[in-house]
């Protein structure tokens, strides 16, 4: 394993860091102000103008679609390991930076799916505008009536009828579906209910304006109303052509795993960036405040938090880089245990550091004056997103035990 940055990655990292310092961090206050104005105008999911301005600037610098190894716009050719370093940098401003460089979830995962499995026609219709940043998309997998952490429980039906598929069911936590730019939903449901458990599901491409698709409501995250939204969506006799099938029929489970592997790297490296910013804020705050006759930063408990944060961040980063390297060398299936491990370890680590940073800030840590409260809500949610901790722990344990059973 070799984690030394290549010359190309070092160049991108330097450009991206400069972009963050010059453009993204100064835009955060503007973003919040514009979002408040949009909410007051009854458009809580409208896009603040500053985001499009950042996208234009980022693209002009070649900071665009960095996540996709085979992207031709421009042709980056970055490996998962190389992109991981860049994802960490964007985690310092998780609401703005990922979208500014067209590397925001769920579009990244959806673009990877389309890049790997879509037909040429599907790519022209959906992948090209996504890569161009002209539209957004949603991934409809989780359901309100079953434990969706076990994908075999999914009840949404996708039934072949002549030249169409007919879809019936309800999804929720369909991230991105509230965004006014969302035009595509990738829907996972059962096409083959009598097949083997892992061959029952398929994925289909559903334009969000298809008759029978209803965005029921937005779901708040710890009371926060995210710009792109997280929607509950119902599908009632929704008809799409059979040509809208993504990949082979019955391979939805395999497609989901292909999507979620690199996606977990992206999530975890952004989470490390969030932890780094929380640590930075904690140090600055504790240097500026005095308690009991000395600077807060001189208090033993604060020093312990700072030291432990650095230890935990470094450990977590190496674990994620190892998982990314394994995806690059043996594929997501071969890196299954490592991917599960980072999905447990990194959000827990970041949550702990953000919590300590909040504590060091006192009342300021839980209000809108710092990004910490919002970061805490996001990172706590990440312990459920893409599979809860408990499912990943179960997978790790089973993989560890398996050699002893033979």
Do 202 and 294 belong to one domain?
no
Q: Average pLDDT over the chain, rounded to whole?
A: 95
| Domain encompassing residue 50 | 7-118
56-60, long-range: CB < 8 A, 24+ apart: 57/19, 57/23, 57/100, 58/19, 58/23, 58/100, 58/101, 58/102, 59/102, 59/133
Q: Is residue 124 part of a domain?
A: no
Nearest partner of 151 among 395, 386, 397, judged by Cα: 386
The 10s digit of each residue's pLDDT in 264-305 is 999 999 999 999 999 999 999 999 999 999 999 999 999 999
Do 99 and 12 belong to one domain?
yes
Whether residue 380 is predicted with pLDDT greater than 70 in this model: the reply is yes
The 10s digit of each residue's pLDDT in 93-139 is 999 999 999 999 999 999 999 999 999 999 999 999 999 999 999 99
Joined together, the tokens standing for residue 10 give 């070092």
Domain limit, last residue, from 225, 246, 267: 246
Q: Is residue 127 part of a domain?
A: no
Maximum separation of any 2 CA atoms in the chain, in Å? 79
Do 230 and 337 belong to one domain?
no
What's phi and psi for 180, nearest 5 deg? -65, -15
Q: Please list the helix, strand and coil fractions of the chain in percent, rounded to the nearest 5, in that order.
A: 55, 15, 30
Q: Kindly indicate the confidence band of residue 71, based on its pLDDT and cuts at 50, 70 and 90.
A: low
Q: How far is CA 342 from the centre of its chain?
A: 14
Q: Is residue 130 part of a domain?
A: no
Per-residue confidence (pLDDT) for residue 76, from 0 to 100:
66
Per-residue confidence (pLDDT) for residue 149, from 0 to 100:
85
Distance CA 35, CA 44 (A): 7
Q: At 298, which CATH number?
A: 1.20.140.10
Query: Structure pTM?
Result: 0.95
Joined together, the tokens standing for residue 58 give 């980022």
**pLDDT cut 90: percent of the chain above it:** 91
Whether residue 69 is predicted with pLDDT greater than 70 in this model: the reply is no
Do 389 and 299 belong to one domain?
yes
Joined together, the tokens standing for residue 321 give 């880089």
For the chain, the C-alpha Rg in angstroms (whole number) is 21
Do 94 and 145 belong to one domain?
no
Do 162 and 260 belong to one domain?
no
Nearest partner of 105 among 258, 282, 265, 308, judged by Cα: 265
What distances in angstroms separate CA 277 from CA 255, 271, 281, 345, 370, one per listed residue?
A: 34, 10, 6, 18, 11
Q: Is residue 126 part of a domain?
A: no
What is the total count of domains within the chain?
A: 3
Q: Is residue 313 part of a domain?
A: yes
Q: Is residue 342 part of a domain?
A: yes
Do 16 and 103 belong to one domain?
yes
Per-residue confidence (pLDDT) for residue 77, from 0 to 100:
74
Joined together, the tokens standing for residue 383 give 């312990």
Query: Residue 127 burial by CB count (10 A; 0-12/13-18/19+): exposed, middle or buried?
Result: buried
Q: Is residue 262 part of a domain?
A: yes
Beta bridge partners of residue 43, listed in sequence order: none
Peptide bond connecting 16 to the previous residue in cis, omega within 30 degrees of 0: no
Do 309 and 393 belong to one domain?
yes
Distance CA 6, CA 392 (A): 31
Do 195 and 257 belong to one domain?
no
Backbone conformation region of residue 80, classed left if phi is above 0, alpha if psi is from -120 to 50, else beta? alpha
Q: Kindly indicate the confidence band of residue 388, based on its pLDDT and cuts at 50, 70 and 90.
A: very high
Q: At 30, which CATH number?
A: 1.10.540.10
Do 205 and 228 belong to one domain?
yes
Whether residue 73 is predicted with pLDDT greater than 60 in this model: the reply is no
Do 111 and 160 belong to one domain?
no
Do 142 and 230 belong to one domain?
yes
Q: How far is CA 162 from the centre of its chain?
A: 36
Q: At 196, which CATH number?
A: 2.40.110.10
Provide CB contacts within 8 A for 308, sequence distance 6+: none
Q: What is the mean pLDDT of residues 186-193?
A: 97
Per-residue confidence (pLDDT) for residue 72, from 0 to 100:
57
The 10s digit of each residue's pLDDT in 194-231 is 999 999 999 999 999 999 999 999 999 999 999 999 99
Domain limit, last residue, from 63, 83, 118: 118
Domain limit, last residue, from 200, 229, 246: 246
Per-residue confidence (pLDDT) for residue 397, from 0 to 100:
98
Q: Is residue 58 part of a domain?
A: yes
């Amino acid at each position: 394993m070799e984690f030394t940055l290549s010359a190309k990655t070092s160049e991108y990292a330097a450009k991206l860091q400069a972009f963050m310092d010059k453009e993204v961090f100064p835009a955060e206050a503007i973003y919040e102000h514009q979002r408040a104005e949009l909410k007051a105008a009854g458009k809580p999911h409208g896009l603040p103008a500053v985001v499009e301005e950042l996208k234009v600037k980022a693209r002009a610098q070649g900071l665009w679609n960095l996540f996709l190894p085979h992207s031709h716009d421009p042709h980056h050719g970055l490996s998962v390991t190389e992109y991981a370093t860049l994802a960490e940098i964007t985690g310092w401003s998780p609401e703005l930076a990922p979208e500014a460089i067209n590397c925001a979830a769920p579009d990244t995962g959806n673009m990877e799916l389309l890049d790997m499995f879509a037909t040429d026609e599907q790519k022209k219709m959906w992948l090209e505008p996504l890569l161009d940043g002209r539209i957004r998309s949603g991934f409809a997998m989780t359901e309100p009536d079953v434990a969706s952490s076990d994908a075999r429980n999914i009840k949404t039906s996708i039934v072949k009828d002549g030249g169409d598929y007919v879809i019936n069911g309800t999804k929720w936590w369909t991230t991105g579906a509230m965004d006014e730019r969302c035009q595509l939903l990738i829907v996972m449901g059962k096409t083959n209910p009598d097949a083997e458990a892992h061959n029952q599901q398929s994925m289909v491409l559903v334009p969000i304006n298809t008759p029978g698709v209803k965005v029921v409501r937005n779901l708040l995250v710890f009371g926060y109303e995210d710009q792109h939204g997280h929607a509950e969506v119902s599908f009632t006799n929704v008809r799409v052509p059979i040509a809208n099938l993504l990949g082979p029929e019955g391979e939805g489970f395999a497609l989901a795993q292909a999507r979620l592997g690199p996606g977990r790297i992206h999530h975890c490296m952004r989470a490390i960036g969030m932890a780094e910013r929380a640590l930075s804020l904690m140090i600055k705050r504790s240097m500026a405040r005095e308690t009991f006759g000395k600077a807060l930063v001189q208090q033993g408990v604060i020093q312990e938090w700072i030291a432990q944060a650095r230890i935990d961040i470094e450990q977590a980063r190496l674990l994620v880089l190892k998982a990314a390297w394994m995806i690059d060398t043996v594929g997501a299936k071969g890196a299954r245990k490592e991917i599960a491990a980072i999905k447990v370890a990194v959000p827990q680590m970041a949550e702990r550091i953000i919590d300590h940073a909040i504590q060091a800030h006192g009342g300021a840590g839980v209000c809108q004056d710092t990004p910490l409260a919002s970061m805490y809500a996001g990172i706590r949610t990440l312990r459920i997103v893409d599979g809860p901790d408990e499912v990943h722990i179960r997978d790790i344990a089973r993989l560890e035990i398996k050699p002893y059973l033979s």
